[in-house]
Amino acid sequence: MKRKTAGNIYTVLVFIFLYMPIAVLILFSFNSSSSTGRFDGFSLRWYKELFSDAATLEALKNTLILAVLSAAIATVIGTLAAYGINKIKNKHLKNGITSVTNVPMMNPEIVTGISMMLLFVFVGGLVNSKTVLGFGTVLIAHVTFNLPYVILSVMPKFKQMDKHLPEAALDLGCTPVQSFLKVELPQILPGIISGFIMAFTLSLDDFVISYFTVGSGFETLPIRIYSMTKKRVTPDMYALSTLIFVAILVLLILSNISGDKEKKTLTLKQKKRRKIVLVSTFSVIAAITLGLFIGTSFAEVVTVNVYNWGEYISDGSEDEDGVASVDTNKEFEKYYSEYLSEQYGRKVKVKVNYTTYASNEDLYAKLKAGAGGYDVIIPSDYMIERLIKEELIQPIASREEITNVIKNYDYLLRAPSEGKTLTKEEAEIFQKPFYDNGDDVYSVMYTYGVIGIVYNADHVSEEDIGGWDLLWNEKYSGKILQFNNARDAFGTAMYKLGVNVNDPTAEQWQACLNELIKQKPIVQSYVMDEVFNKMESGEAWIAPYYVGDALSMIYQAEQRGINLDFYYPTDENGETVTNVFADAMCIPVDVSEEQKTHAIAYIDFMLSVDEKYGAPAIANAEYIYYASPNRLVYTNPDYLATLDGDEEIIYEPMSNINELFDKYAYRNLSSQNLSTLNSNWEALKVESSSFNGTIYVISAIIAAAIIGYIVFITVRKRHRRKLYWEQSPTVGTKKSSSDSSADSLSDTVTIAIKRSKSKKD
Amino acid sequence: MNNKKSLLQRAAAAPHIVWSVLFIIAPLIFVIYYAFTDSEGKFTFENIANLSQPSYLEIFLRSVCFAFLATIICLVIAYPIAYFITKASPKTQKILIMLVMLPMWMNFLIRTYSWMALLEDSGIINTVLGFIGLGPIHMINTEGAVILGMVYNFLPYMILPIHSVLSKIDTRLLEAASDLGCNHFQVITKVVFPLSIPGIISGITMVFVPSISTFYISQKLGGGNFDLIGDTIERQFQTAYNYNLGAAMSFILMILIIISMTIMNKYADDDGGVII
């Protein structure tokens, strides 16, 4: 009795462990605030928001389509394969095929993912295409890892089937097709169904393999969740997970109930009814998928694929007071579909496929991998320089033509500062910035800003702030965040040491690396968009970040009663030394002429202040807190009023932006510097911050214990086998074979019997 | 006629064979190709040589240790629970197994993210501890948190195969053993445990392989301070754009896994007589 209670308690504890995060997730899906760490009251707000979150619903739809398609293809190929393999007589060939089939099952997912990515990239290189990765490649990858599971569940059915049955059917007058449909198929059907369901489930939940093989414009739910967990997960994702959880729970309960009934013998009628239910369920699923699929591919839809930084556009989310911001992408869809419909004289739907990246380097790697298919990307200055050099982006128009192409282009103007007139060159800095000042225009500036340091004013004392060394202050060990991208992270060390960020010497590179290695033990983590959550929740206290995001953090944190502040670091002379950057909209080189017109329309729209469509340029500036180079924006009194004093920080660099760009902007590094930067970054990343021997010692002890135990068992077994042979030679000659479990069973029991006997003696 | 027909029947496997060659074998060849070439496509051992630097060796060692500990902890937690589940009535058993499987249907990213909210210094567990007057315990961004994440995510993969083996054990064997004088403990160690080794072996494989190659868990719960093999590979492909180094790392990971599997299989052959 006692043992049973202990067992029950243990079981309950394990289940608490398994369900604790899920409970947290369900609880916070009902949170009234956007926090995923503090419960502020019950509300259904996030469920409401979920159903207006087009991107998430789209991702859900994509995931379902992908899962059904890949499972269906895998089921067809797999069933055929199981049938064929079963007929193969040559044992070696059979084994060979089976072991190759099982490779994706045994290999770590990441290896499967990257191996397929390498194949696709290579093939893309061969056909000189920059857009290999996409829906097709994910589909191929999913079919590949689904196949072994389908074969695994169908194969036994073929093996179990009585070979004579189809023969008998043929003898009795069936045609081969009839014999297959009436005799063989019904017998293997359960295997096929379970194979399909397994494949469907695996595909539905797969993240790792999709992550490496997915391209632009196609986001599955796990991929979307991944990019969300990189910044902040909005509770509407929790709401979706809760709904999925409940749906699966209900399904499992239902199947459990029907499974109980299955045991009873069914009458023919019941069987028929079950068949009808089964067939109709399948056809409903198929119809829905087909409908979704047709809906996406055959109606006239213009899609614009936009790849932007995280948290870098006004996205229609509500603030704490429940006031919704403008969803600029949605406004563009509205505007452009009206425009095109009028133009073409028929209804055209416009869709913005909006995905995000965390750093310039991520964007670059994606572009290089051939995950193209983006129509608009928004890299930073130095990256634009590099992309132009490597011919990865195309000219939008020539400099003379640009104002005809981008109607709002002329509003990119610097404001004259008080009492000083600007030369033409100075005024047009936003049109002809250092990274793009040739005869062709490659980029249209989106925002500009400065890197500064955000800190928690409740914990960081005033005397410590001011310079870059705050990031190295051991007093705040474990509360400091650092950039998770090479350029910005090394930038912090370079500014601290007073090194030229665009051309350091070899010694300076080494000094910076040492500086960052020195910093590593006190860094809580290396982050990009994760910084929002960590600073706003008070989990971290100090972080270098871009000004707009910093202000947005300060505002969000204020709502939660956390007091953040921000400064531009200065050197010992009191002069500000930090990075000034600009981000601009560009069009990748592989974008077709037709897509390019849509991309240009999108870029132009982002500069517009048309009230009819929510004044996108102003809405974005208000939402993301970055300085806009657009005169229509920064002179707008309503907009300035919403900034409530922050405009002084945001627009401070404007007064001498030309000099600042000259002095503080990152430039594209020489290839030698670039490779030093990359290898140094790698060196920093793999450097172990804290060598904690305990883990290794524990592992070693356990490993030693296990090896010792195995040796002990083996020796004892050998000894015993000797005894066993001596006592009962007749049984003993039948060497305990290793592939018959029945034998090892009897073996074990005999041993058990012997042991107990010897004990009695 | 007959020969033709059987050829035709065997040809049913053809699409699969073509698919396997194109999308299983060819990609693996590319991993090896990239692992032994430089960015210009020239043959080199440099990538592999690079990985013998102490810092990379530590990554390998760390990954192996973390995965090993996670596997052991999973086994220690899973075995008793699998055993207790088999002791329940068939109906309860079905429900309990369903409950074990249910979390696997939820996206693992979001469950891991949810652990962050639990483990943070200002997180839920520490808030609760604060209420009962216990000081905040630093949990996130430690080795323990990473291992916990692995154990949490892969525990069902250990419970299920062990349970499936345990539930198939002929109860008459246990009765025979007790009749013959085994006490309860002996029944477990002498009869139940040896018979369940096949389940343990497949459980170990199913936990160890994903643990050693994970990259998400360590980034979220380890704060990027404990680079594992998976993290390093992921970085080469997604940010650093160094496919050659990433491929070399994957190549070594594959070899590591093949070695561990072979060792496991050898012991499995000796002990339980099961080849996975």
pLDDT at A745 over 50: no
**What element of type H or E holds A350?**
strand A349-357
Average pLDDT, chain A: 85
Q: Which one is the CATH code of A48-245: 1.10.287.3510, 1.10.3720.10, 3.20.20.60, 1.10.390.10? A: 1.10.3720.10
User: Of the ranges A46-50, A111-115, A178-182, A536-540, which one carries the lowest mean pLDDT score?
Assistant: A178-182
Closest Cβ opposite residue A695 in set B65, B103, B215: B65
pLDDT at A345 over 90: no
Closest Cβ opposite residue A140 in set B23, B216, B220: B23
Closest Cβ opposite residue A110 in set B115, B173, B233: B233
Which chain A residue has the Cα nearest residue B194? A748
pLDDT category of residue A582 using cuts at 50, 70 and 90: very high
Give the torsion sign (CA, B228, B233, B238, B242).
positive
What is the average per-residue pLDDT within B179-192? 88
Count Cα neighbours of B259 within 13 Å in the Cβ-side half-sphere: 7
Check A118 against B34: CB less than 8 A apart.
Answer: yes
**Residue scoring higher pLDDT (A601 or A323):** A601
Distances from the Cα of A226 to the Cαs of A8, A28, A241, B217, B220, in angstroms? 36, 18, 14, 12, 11
Percentage above 70 pLDDT, chain A: 88
Check B81 against A14: CB less than 8 A apart.
Answer: yes
- Please give the Cα distance from B245 to A678 (Å, whole number): 12
Q: Who's near A388: CB < 8 A, 6+ residues apart? A: A435, A436, A438, A442
pLDDT of residue A733: 43
Phi, psi (5° rounding) for residue A47?
-70, -40
- Please give the Cα distance from A644 to A639 (Å, whole number): 9
pLDDT of residue A35: 75
Check A110 against B215: CB less than 8 A apart.
Answer: yes
- Supply A645's token pair: 């004093």
Count Cα neighbours of B118 within 13 Å in the Cβ-side half-sphere: 19
pLDDT (tens digit, 9 = 90+) per residue, A200-242? 988 988 999 999 998 767 889 999 888 888 777 778 889 999 9
Contact residues on chain A for B243, CB-CB shorter than 8 A: 118, 121
**Residue scoring higher pLDDT (A22 or A39):** A22
- Please give the Cα distance from A148 to A107 (Å, whole number): 12
Check A119 against B212: CB less than 8 A apart.
Answer: no
| Cβ pair A680, A490 in contact under 8 A | yes
- Supply A168's token pair: 């008998």
What is the average per-residue pLDDT within B60-65? 92
What is the average per-residue pLDDT within B2-24? 82
- Please give the Cα distance from A189 to A173 (Å, whole number): 23
What is the average per-residue pLDDT within A602-621? 93
For residue A302, the cross-strand partners are A350
Closest Cβ opposite residue A21 in set B114, B215, B230: B114
- Please give the Cα distance from B78 to A710 (Å, whole number): 21
- Tell me if residue A566 falls in helix, strand or coil: strand
The residues spanned by each domain of chain A are 48-245, 302-444+588-624+632-651, 693-760
A to B CB pairs, distance under 8 Å = 340
At B31, the amino acid letter reads V
Phi, psi (5° rounding) for residue A326?
-75, 135
Percentage above 70 pLDDT, chain B: 94
Chain B interface includes A709 (CB < 8 A): no
Domains of chain B from N-terminus onward:
55-240 (1.10.3720.10)
Check A524 against B141: CB less than 8 A apart.
Answer: yes
- Please give the Cα distance from A385 to A247 (Å, whole number): 50
Which chain B residue has the Cα nearest residue A3? B84
| Cβ pair A551, A564 in contact under 8 A | no
Mutate to test the interface with A, among B1, B2, B8, B16 (most CBs of A within 10 A): B16
pLDDT of residue A274: 67
108-167 of A, contacting B, C-beta below 8 A: 108-112, 114-119, 121-122, 140-141, 143-144, 147, 151
Phi, psi (5° rounding) for residue A583?
-115, 140
pLDDT category of residue A756 using cuts at 50, 70 and 90: very low
Chain A interface includes B249 (CB < 8 A): no
pLDDT at A753 over 50: no
pLDDT at A562 over 80: yes
pLDDT (tens digit, 9 = 90+) per residue, A129-144? 767 788 889 999 999 9
A345: burial class by Cβ within 10 Å (0-12, 13-18, 19+)?
exposed
**What element of type H or E holds A201?**
helix A185-205
pLDDT at B88 over 60: yes
| Cβ pair A491, A509 in contact under 8 A | no
Closest Cβ opposite residue B107 in set A115, A241, A698: A241
Strand A443-456 and strand A564-567: pairing? antiparallel
Chain B interface includes A42 (CB < 8 A): no
pLDDT at A760 over 60: no
Closest Cβ opposite residue B68 in set A249, A703, A749: A703
| Cβ pair A578, A569 in contact under 8 A | yes
- Please give the Cα distance from B217 to B149 (Å, whole number): 6
**Model pTM score:** 0.87
**What element of type H or E holds A102?**
helix A91-106
Q: Who's near A597: CB < 8 A, 6+ residues apart? A: none
One fold for both A48-245 and A302-444+588-624+632-651? no
Which chain B residue has the Cα nearest residue A7? B84
User: Of the ranges A89-98, A254-263, A320-329, A635-644, which one carries the lowest mean pLDDT score?
Assistant: A254-263
- Supply A506's token pair: 């070899």
pLDDT category of residue A425 using cuts at 50, 70 and 90: confident
User: Of the ranges A55-64, A301-310, A366-375, A634-643, which one carries the lowest mean pLDDT score?
Assistant: A366-375
Which chain A residue has the Cα nearest residue B105? A205
**Shortest CA distance to A223 belongs to which of A63, A372, A52?**
A63
∠A94-A99-A104 over CA atoms, to 5°? 140
pLDDT at A568 over 60: yes
Looking at the complex, report in whole angstroms how far the Cα of residue B42 sits from the nearest Cα belonging to chain A. Answer: 15
Give exposure, A250-289, as e/b (b: 16+ Cβ within 10 Å): eebeeeeeeeeeeeeeeeeeeeeeeeeeeeeeeeeeeeeb
Highest mean pLDDT among A352-356, A490-494, B92-96: A490-494
pLDDT of residue A268: 67
Contact residues on chain B for A369, CB-CB shorter than 8 A: 237, 241
What is the average per-residue pLDDT within B56-65? 91
Greatest Cα-to-Cα distance within chain A, rounded to the nearest angstrom: 112
- Using H for helix, E for strand and C for coil, what is the string for A276-341? HHHHHHHHHHHHHHHHHHHHHHCCCEEEEEEEEECCCCCECCECCCCCECCEHHHHHHHHHHHHHH
Looking at the complex, report in whole angstroms how far the Cα of residue A596 sits from the nearest Cα belonging to chain B. Answer: 26
- Supply A255's token pair: 């199947």
Crossing angle of helices A506-519 and A486-497, rounded to 10°: 100
Distances from the Cα of A631 to the Cαs of A276, A332, A424, in angstroms? 66, 21, 15
Q: Who's near B119: CB < 8 A, 6+ residues apart? A: B125, B139, B140, B145, B148, B221
35-54 of B, contacting A, C-beta below 8 A: none
CATH, range A302-444+588-624+632-651? 3.40.190.10
- Please give the Cα distance from A445 to A443 (Å, whole number): 6
**Shortest CA distance to B218 belongs to which of B77, B102, B62, B71?**
B62
| Cβ pair A336, A630 in contact under 8 A | no
